[in-house]
Amino acid sequence: MTALVWYRRDLRVHDHPALCAALGAHDRVVPVFCLDDRLLHGRHASGARTQFLLESLRDLDASLRRRGSGLVVRHGPPERELPALAREVGAGALHFSSDVTPFARMRGARTRSALEAAGVELCGHPGVNVVDDAGALRTRAGRPYTVFSPFHRSWQQEPRRAVLGAPRTLPALPAGLTKGRVPALASLGLEQEVEDPPEGGEGPGRRRLEGFLATDLAAYGSGHDDLGGDRTSRLSPYLHLGCVSARAVEERLAGGDGPAAFRRQLCWRDFHHHVLLHFPHNATTEFQERYRGTIRWSRAERRFAAWCEGRTGYPLVDAGMRQLRREGWMHNRARLVAGSFLTKDLGIDWRWGERFFMRLLVDGDEANNNGNWQWIASVGTDPQPVYRRIYNPARQMASHDPSGTYVRRYVPELARVPDEYLAEPWTMPDGVQRLAACVIGRDYPRPIVDHAQARREALERYRV
């Protein structure tokens, strides 16, 4: 008997429950990925993330071919392509990894209806989150969690499935089957906007994991907010597309403060997925009902463009935004500072920032990106008062980039600015500006807003 394995965002061969279950129950397994234009050109279209996806698909195909199989690629909606492929190869079942986003669930429901009508059995499996079913966790009252700390306590107590190895061999694809090819980005009508993105694929992801475990994990608890040190894992793009398994990553974490802090970050990922599953309206509107339609957001397009381009006049904000444009990734501390600046200092709708991030981020996960933007905008699940999420960029730089290493790495026009002026370069005397080859208003922009005044306006704006 033949089964399809529908790859979505689980692009690996190691620790793949759906693949292993299909191999255990069927004589032949046909791995398949559908390039769906509704994703490629939808609300969160991204050339950068699609390029990472295409590289990951090529890497996956190579891994499958080394084991005797290969990846079948179809371009079209899965509710059309999968029943057709099932008929072609005589498949009676389809195995897949369950997902939680509103789009994934909508697409899954359509595909289920089409496959059931074709007589194909659907078999869902874990594989996207650390716990088997992040959506199943409940409070003592039987409700979904809406606050992270109690979710974290419950999450820690959840049983874990065993981590699975990669199959050594796979059955060959049916004779005469046209595999299809992974296309070039340009042929999909998309372009790469990021200068120096990470390489996609399970191979690069596993190498990244090994390097992080060997060098930076032990000090992660104290070093993950060190912008200049750059000691974060940078695993988020690989976790997003499942090039590495979140459960397998957790399995590698030993005891100690560093591993505990990193495990907490994996829990945040599961928490955001849990929340979006149970509150799908979060994808477009505020979690906190009192803020829906009540905050008067600014629509200052020039200020928004300055933020996007990293020319706000606040070095830490600009460094973060330029890192995003250069790498398709941004240090989490910089994301928080940039998000606070957009929503609190500029008063611009968090959805504008969410969309821009999703355009460029190679790790752009709808649940995580949405959850983090609502968190920093003080409209999401975070119970803290608004003033706790108004970040002073200069103070944040003093705490997390005191040597200016991060800022100078991404804002080279500030390279010669003395340390004592780097966080607020507009305070440099004229003579110092000339010596530093950084005349404010010519070589580097003046601040587009006064932080102290913006803070007062933000507190008033949220007073509903």
Q: Looking at beta carbons, which pairs linking 55-59 to residues 24 or more positions away fall under 8 Å?
A: 55/199, 55/200, 55/201, 56/11, 56/200, 56/201, 56/202, 56/241, 56/243, 57/11, 57/33, 57/182, 58/182, 58/201, 59/11, 59/200, 59/201, 59/202, 59/203, 59/204, 59/243
Q: Can you tell me the distance from the alpha carbon of 458 to that of 295, in angstroms, rounded to the nearest whole number? A: 10
CATH architecture of 2-127: 3-Layer(aba) Sandwich (3.40)
Tell me whether domains 129-160+201-278 and 289-461 share a fold: no
Element housing 96 (H / E): strand 91-97
| Residue 184: other Cβ atoms inside 10 A | 10
pLDDT tens by residue, 369-416: 999 999 999 999 988 999 999 999 999 999 999 999 999 999 999 999
The pLDDT tens digits of the residues spanning 45-68 come to: 999 999 999 999 999 999 999 999
The Cα 305–Cα 287 span in angstroms is: 27
By CB atoms closer than 10 A (0-12, 13-18, 19+), residue 10 is buried
Look at the block and give the residue holding tokens 């199959």: 167
Interval 407-433 mean pLDDT: 98
Question: Which residue's entry shows tokens 């500029």?
Answer: 346
21 band by pLDDT with thresholds 50, 70 and 90: very high
Q: How many residues does the chain have?
A: 464
Arithmetic mean of pLDDT over the chain: 97
CA distance 351 to 297: 10
Strands (E), 253-409: none
Residue 190 has pLDDT above 90, yes or no: yes
Q: Would you say the C-alpha torsion 62, 64, 69, 72 has a positive or negative sign?
A: negative
Break the chain into its structural domains and give their ranges: 2-127, 129-160+201-278, 289-461
Strand partners, 35: 75
Rounded to the nearest 10 degrees, the angle between the axes of helix 366-376 and helix 257-278 is 100
Say what the pLDDT of residue 432 is.
Answer: 98
Torsion of CA 236, 237, 242, 244, to 10 degrees: -70
Does pLDDT of 464 surpass 90?
Answer: no
The domain 289-461 having CATH identifier 3.40.50.150: the answer here is no
- Give the integer Cα–Cα distance in Å for 193 and 73: 25
Give the mean pLDDT of 219-233.
94
Distance of CA 351 to the CA centre of its chain: 16
List beta partners, residue 418.
Answer: none
Q: Where are the alpha helices (DSSP H) in 90-124?
A: 102-117
Distance CA(126)–CA(150), nearest Å, equals 23
Please name the fold of domain 129-160+201-278: 1.25.40
Mean pLDDT across 62-91: 98
d(CA 243, CA 315) in angstroms, rounded, equals 34
Is pLDDT at 182 greater than 80 in this prediction? Answer: yes
Interatomic CA distance for residues 18 and 123, integer angstroms: 8
214: burial class by Cβ within 10 Å (0-12, 13-18, 19+)? exposed
Structure tokens at 116: 């059931």
Residue 383: what pLDDT? Answer: 87
Pull the structure tokens for residue 238.
Answer: 């690989």
Helices and strands, number each (H, E), in the chain:
21, 5
| φ/ψ of residue 105, rounded to 5 | -70, -40
CA dist 195 and 193 (Å) reads: 7
Give the CA distances from residue 413 to residues 194, 318, 377, 392, 407, in Å, rounded to whole numbers and listed in that order: 20, 11, 30, 22, 10
One DSSP character per residue, 355-368 reads: HHHHHH-TT--HHH
Main-chain dihedrals φ then ψ at residue 194, nearest 5 degrees: -105, 135
The 10s digit of each residue's pLDDT in 284-340 is 999 999 999 999 999 999 999 999 999 999 999 999 999 999 999 999 999 999 999
Rounded to whole angstroms, the Cα distance separating 127 from 332 reads 24
Please list the alpha-helical segments (H only) found in 315-382.
315-327, 332-340, 350-360, 366-376
